[in-house]
Amino acid sequence: MKKITLIFILFHFLFSVHAQIIDGLSIGIESNSAWYNDDKKTGAFNDENNNDQDKHLRFNNYIKLDYNFLSKFTVSAQLESYEPFALINYSSNLEGTNLGTYSLSYETTKIKATIGHFYEQFGSGLIYRNWEDRQLGINNALFGGKLSYRLLDFADLTVIYGNHRVGFETSDGDIFGFNSEFDLKSIFKMNNMALSLGFSYVGREEKTDLEAINYKSLTNAYSGRLDFSYGKFYSSAEYVSKSKDAIVLANQVSNQFIKPGSGILFNTGYSKKGFGLDATFRRLENMTFYSERDKSGNIFFENIVNYTPGLTKQHDYLLTNIFVYQAQSSVSFLDPELMKVGEIGGQLDLFYNIKKGTALGGKYGSKIAFNGSYWAGLKGDFDYANQDYKTDAFGFGNKYFSDISLEIRKKWNSKWRSIFYFVNQYYNKKEIEGNFGAKPIITNIGVIESTYKLGNGKSIRIEAQKLWSDSENHDWIGSTLEFNLNSKFSFYINDIYNSGDDSSTQRTHYYNIGGSYTKEATRIGLNYGRQRAGLLCVGGVCRFVPEATGLTASVNMSF
């Protein structure tokens, strides 16, 4: 309680500092709190990550300070507090109150140098990325040093070295690397065309205590990529190679199962006013990469080096997010009937604006968007007894997931607009989750959404959703009602209900009711309701969250 009091005192101090208007100082404040209560439907409050179940009140507080001085220097610090524990769904390493990140940076037109914690990404992130996502509880900032240099206005060079942040500590494995980007358009003075070339290297050094070692403590990863655009057409390609390293099975580092990894990413598209087409292909083989080997596959993404999100449609509705795809980039030999070493597939996006005044467009026109994705395991020869495999270059194995969606946006008049949304999904629960005996689930989901402006800043939005499934366990219905009083106040209520038989979620209303207040850079939100157990996804990165019931509040401010 004393630490919580200190946090509130610091909040007051920051407001006082803001009142004095210190030039060069910016402050960001985020506070997320929850009171978890026992629920006869979802059960008694239970936090599997912390043994003390009596702490129903939890806080995640963040205060970010950035101060620019002498025109070229910036000092940054982020104070974090997880008292008495972090919200459920967060790592137990996030405990107490301390400085989470801090750094000193120097920047000119040619040079940018950072000492302390920093974030960086090479290419698409397949080889290296560190970032912060507070909603998912991810912060894999590197603690060390970064130096970037702009060479002759056509090349960008970056070197990094450090250790991953893990809670308020750092990882044992060392991460170091080099990235280069070359603007070939400037070099060869191309007109109406953009062409760039990139090369990257990332090394992970982690000592091991194994006596009979069959792999090196140093793991090397290399990446090459090419980006091209001409007029309305664009394309990019990237290849990543990872040296031989131990496979981690059931949190155990194997001294016998040693394999390399690789990744291929290709994207192309065409875009003009009223029309767009985008296609992505990706192949991943043994591309899990962590600064500490035995942390591979941990649900909190701690120690993760690279970024392999699920490349599928990012849905906005409650029922369309029950069965979501996670990238299958790791090797898993759980059983002779369940062996996988990666994924292969892609997605296609298409949008088209129907012109105003046409038979289909009407007075205001219409917008159509289509998305299709397909993901499968890698095809090859798998030897469970000897823990070995050999994959085909572009062979498709067992189907993991598919998603086909069609969205139509229609404006009826100056006050009323609607969205019609249909999704068909195939979800192989056995392959994706390692759930033995589970059959693939096929769903069809329909959504109708309408927004009506009432005038004077008021509006009302209504959603109606229905999920049909070939599984008796899943027969969901959902709805949302949102009322915006003005630009500051908003209120909502939503509910999803599963009438499916023999399901852990059957006959349970997962309802939420709440509202928010927004003024300039300040937002305050309040919500009470039930959280369904399942995958929480942000930007294609997903992790499992447990069932819970309670009151949550959030405050976001910046000045």
Mean pLDDT by 10 residues, the chain (559 residues): 53 52 87 92 75 80 95 96 92 94 97 98 97 94 98 94 97 97 88 93 88 82 97 97 92 90 98 96 97 92 95 94 94 90 98 89 92 97 94 96 97 95 97 88 97 94 96 92 95 94 81 96 95 85 87 94
Q: Are residues 132 and 267 in the same domain?
A: yes
Q: Are residues 241 and 345 in the same domain?
A: no
Q: Are residues 531 and 509 in the same domain?
A: yes
pLDDT number for residue 505: 76
Give how many domains the chain has, as a whole number.
3
pLDDT number for residue 359: 80
Return the closest-CA partner of residue 423 out of 438, 442, 409: 442
Distance CA 146, CA 124 (A): 19
Return the closest-CA partner of residue 65 out of 54, 52, 75: 75
* Residue that terminates a domain, selected from 60, 88, 105: 105
Model pTM score: 0.92
Q: Are residues 127 and 46 in the same domain?
A: no
* Residue that terminates a domain, selected from 308, 334, 356: 308
Q: Are residues 509 and 531 in the same domain?
A: yes
Residue 159 in 3-state DSSP?
strand
Helices of type H across 110-261: 184-188
pLDDT number for residue 297: 87
pLDDT number for residue 120: 97
Q: Are residues 80 and 128 in the same domain?
A: no
Distance CA 68, CA 75 (A): 7
Using the structure block, give the residue that is written with the tokens 């997880």: 82
Spatial contact of 311 and 348, defined as CB atoms under 8 Å apart = no
Q: Are residues 207 and 76 in the same domain?
A: no
Q: Are residues 508 and 537 in the same domain?
A: yes
pLDDT number for residue 3: 54
Q: How far apart are the first and last CA of the chain?
A: 27
CA 273: distance to chain centroid?
29
Q: pLDDT tens digits for 281-299?
A: 999 999 999 999 999 989 8
Q: Are residues 87 and 155 in the same domain?
A: no
In terms of DSSP bridges, do strands 489-498 and 509-519 run parallel, antiparallel, or are they unpaired? antiparallel
CA 295: distance to chain centroid?
18
Q: Are residues 295 and 337 in the same domain?
A: no
* Residue that terminates a domain, selected from 105, 135, 162: 105
Distance CA 325, CA 540 (A): 8
Query: Which distant-in-sequence residues (6+ apart) come within 8 Å of 337 by Cβ?
Result: 436
Q: Of all helices (H) and strands (E), which one includes residue 67?
A: strand 57-69
Task: Tell me the backbone φ, ψ of residue 378, rounded to 5 degrees.
Answer: -80, 135
Beta-bridged to residue 545, according to DSSP, are 534
CATH number, residue 166: 2.40.160
Residue 108 in 3-state DSSP?
coil
The alpha carbon dihedral of 312, 313, 314, 320 has a sign of: negative
**Cβ atoms within 10 A of the Cβ of 542, count?**
21
Cα separations in angstroms, 1 against 7, 386, 493: 10, 55, 33
Distance CA 224, CA 126 (A): 11
pLDDT number for residue 200: 98
Asked whether the bond before 84 is cis by omega within 30 degrees of 0, the reply is yes
Q: 3-state SS string over 471-509?
A: CCCCCEEEEEEEEECCCCEEEEEEEEEECCCCCCCECCE
Distance CA 132, CA 94 (A): 14
Q: Are residues 132 and 86 in the same domain?
A: no
Read off the DSSP letter of residue 188: H
Spatial contact of 368 and 407, defined as CB atoms under 8 Å apart = yes
Q: pLDDT tens digits for 376-418?
A: 999 999 999 999 999 999 999 999 999 999 999 999 999 999 9
Cα separations in angstroms, 50 against 69, 180, 391, 503: 42, 43, 41, 27
Beta-bridged to residue 339, according to DSSP, are 333
Spatial contact of 351 and 369, defined as CB atoms under 8 Å apart = yes
pLDDT number for residue 15: 53
Q: Are residues 92 and 182 in the same domain?
A: no
Spatial contact of 332 and 249, defined as CB atoms under 8 Å apart = yes
Q: How many helices (H) and strands (E) does the chain have?
A: 3, 33
Residue 336 in 3-state DSSP?
coil
User: Exposed, middle or buried, 394 (CB in 10 Å: 0-12/13-18/19+)?
Assistant: exposed
Q: For residue 264, what are the domain limits? A: 108-308
pLDDT number for residue 19: 47
Query: Which distant-in-sequence residues (6+ apart) come within 8 Å of 222 by Cβ?
Result: 127, 199, 200, 201, 240, 241
Instruction: Indicate the Cα dihedral angle 20, 21, 24, 30, nearest 10°.
Output: 90
Distance CA 171, CA 429 (A): 33
